[in-house]
């Protein structure tokens, strides 16, 4: 497909990853207009203008719409749909599991129907939450036993993508994201953003539980490159699932210690670590074997961990702090 015939839609396109994806697509040569479906629950047009710049933001056609509701019949045809909209964490799903179901499962169903209507390829955001406490390193073949409503809804999303590929010839690629971090995350409640904000405000990092929980952190720029590569691999009836992360096990305590080092190096002020009670639905050990995405798509993580953390920290330092 040529650049002239491509037409991109991004659900959740005003959110953190959505805006970074718009910037990455533009940098990689996509020069047409973007259709963005977003209800501004998390991100905003102001964020888009601030992060992407006015010239790029002017190429975005924004539809103010909750993806959990049926999409308008008159939405223009597209060739590519990046489905990023939905609930993004365990905490909100514990507070309101029905809302999590509607945002993630019904929202994905609506996006897939839109794709089938226009024979568009789809890339869908999932996470490691469906896996629960599976034996690490997790792979695409690991047995899924979700521990939270969020994990259950993400597992259902993966099932619908497979079903639509088989039943309707939809080309779909699902990525299970590691823990995403990077610039533009000022509204995120994820651990890197939350720790960085706490350091900038009060020279303190809060660690939930023992700190021995492990995660696999992926820089947002590396993630966006993978999404674009996944879309390029789509063909009718194609269905693929990838673990998307560096494949590097990091404890939460190691993360906290590294951010404290960066904080002292950048600010000259020492930092302390404080412990808080953990959450029962949190996964204890999680990192991935990412050989499938590397071997199949040729993807690699180009960002060294501490460099990415420093870039994130300095970006948050230079931007207004907005609580998630």
At 135-174, the pLDDT tens digits run 999 999 999 999 999 999 999 999 999 999 999 999 999 9
47 within domain boundaries: yes
What CATH number has the domain bearing residue 122? Answer: 3.40.50.720
**Residue-by-residue pLDDT tens, the chain, 324 positions:** 566 689 999 999 999 999 999 999 999 999 999 999 999 998 999 999 999 999 999 999 999 999 999 999 999 999 999 999 999 888 899 999 999 999 999 999 999 999 999 999 999 999 999 999 999 999 999 999 999 999 999 999 999 999 999 999 999 999 999 999 999 988 887 899 999 999 999 999 999 999 999 999 999 999 999 999 999 999 999 999 999 999 999 999 999 999 999 999 999 999 999 999 987 767 788 899 999 999 999 999 999 999 999 999 999 999 856 444
> Residue 166 sits in which domain range?
3-181+217-247+286-302
80 and 7 Cβ atoms separated by less than 8 Å? yes
205 domain-assigned:
no
Tally the domains of the chain. 1
Residue with tokens 């492990």: 214
Answer yes or no: is 71 within a domain.
yes
Domain contains 55: yes
Residue 145 lies in a domain: yes
Beta bridge partners of 175: 125, 242
pTM of this prediction? Answer: 0.94
CA distance 285 to 314: 29
**CA neighbor of 225 nearest in space, from 2, 54, 93, 28:** 28
Which of 62, 58, 56 minimizes the C-alpha distance to 27?
A: 56
Has residue 156 been placed in a domain?
Answer: yes
CA nearest neighbour of 192 among 183, 238, 201, 235: 183
Q: Cis omega (within 30 of 0) on the bond before 141?
A: no
User: 54: which strand partners?
Assistant: none
- Angle CA(78)–CA(79)–CA(84) in degrees, nearest 5? 80
Is residue 312 a part of any domain in this protein? Answer: no
Any domain includes 314: no
């Amino acid at each position: 497909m040529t650049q002239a015939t491509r037409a991109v839609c991004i659900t959740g396109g005003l959110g953190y990853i959505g805006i970074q994806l718009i910037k990455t697509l533009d940098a990689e040569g996509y020069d047409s207009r973007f259709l963005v479906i977003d209800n501004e629950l998390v991100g905003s047009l102001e964020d888009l203008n601030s992060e992407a710049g006015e010239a790029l933001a002017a190429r975005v056609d924004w539809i103010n719409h909750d993806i959990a509701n049926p999409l308008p019949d008159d939405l223009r045809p597209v060739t590519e749909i990046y489905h990023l909209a939905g609930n993004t964490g365990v905490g909100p799903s514990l507070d309101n599991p029905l809302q999590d179901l509607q945002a993630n499962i019904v929202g994905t169903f609506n996006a897939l129907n839109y794709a089938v209507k226009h024979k568009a390829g789809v890339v869908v955001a999932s996470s490691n939450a469906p896996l629960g406490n599976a034996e690490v390193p997790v792979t695409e073949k690991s047995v899924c036993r979700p521990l939270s409503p969020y994990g259950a809804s993400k597992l259902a999303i993966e099932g619908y993508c497979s079903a639509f590929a088989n039943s309707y010839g939809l080309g779909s690629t699902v990525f299970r994201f590691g823990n995403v971090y990077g610039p533009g995350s000022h509204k995120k409640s994820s651990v890197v953003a939350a720790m960085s904000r706490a350091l900038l405000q009060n020279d303190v990092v809060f660690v939930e539980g023992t700190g021995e929980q492990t995660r696999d952190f992926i820089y947002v720029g590396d993630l966006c490159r993978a999404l674009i590569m996944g879309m390029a691999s789509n063909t009718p009836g194609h269905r693929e699932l990838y673990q998307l992360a560096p494949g590097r096990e990091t404890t939460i305590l190691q993360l906290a210690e590294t951010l404290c080092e960066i904080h002292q190096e950048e600010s000259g002020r020492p930092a302390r670590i404080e412990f808080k009670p953990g959450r029962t639905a949190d996964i204890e050990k999680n990192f991935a074997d990412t050989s499938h995405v590397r071997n199949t798509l040729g993807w690699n993580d180009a960002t060294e961990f501490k460099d990415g953390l420093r870039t994130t920290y300095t970006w948050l330092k230079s931007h207004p702090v907005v609580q998630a």
